[in-house]
Amino acid sequence: MMTVRCYLAPSRIEGLGVYTSVAIPRGTEVWRYNSDFDLSYPIAKIAAAPDHIREFMDRYTYVNPFDPSQVILDADEARFMNHSDTPNVDFSSDISGRALRDIAVDEELTCDYACFTVGEISFQPPRHKTNGSATTEFPGHLTMQSADGPGRPPA
């Protein structure tokens, strides 16, 4: 769950991105896992879901670090945070994300997907339309890949 005020807007990275409404000093917690809002789903249940639900869940969930048989779906803007090789938010903790540097008002919040991805990171095509067309210049969303397929931890 985002712990700072933020909003969604078109991103130069891909589709929609999460932007901060407030200045964020370095070290500030910007996200924290909250089991009351961030939903956990059994991977087996998602595997049996219709295609459009599996595609949604593959894009917006990540393996629960406390129970690898489950994935987590962030209930708020956090699920739209884009990947960057030079992120401004650190997710190396299993339960929180912190600002790696001072982040200015209206700056996009980014993270390194490798911090919470099991298996290979592979980027998906754009899902959201901005200005009438899908953004394709800078890919930014991923599918978690492993020997067991998308969104599933390795056996």
pLDDT tens readout for residues 52-95: 999 889 888 888 888 989 999 999 999 999 999 999 999 988 78
Residues in a beta bridge with 152: none
pTM equals 0.75
Multiple choice CATH, 6-33+75-143, 2.170.270.10, 2.40.128.20, 3.30.450.40, 3.20.20.140: 2.170.270.10
How many C-beta neighbours within 10 Å does residue 143 have? 17
**Domain-wise residue ranges, the chain:** 6-33+75-143
User: How far lies 112's CA from each of 7, 74, 83, 109, in Å?
Assistant: 20, 16, 5, 11
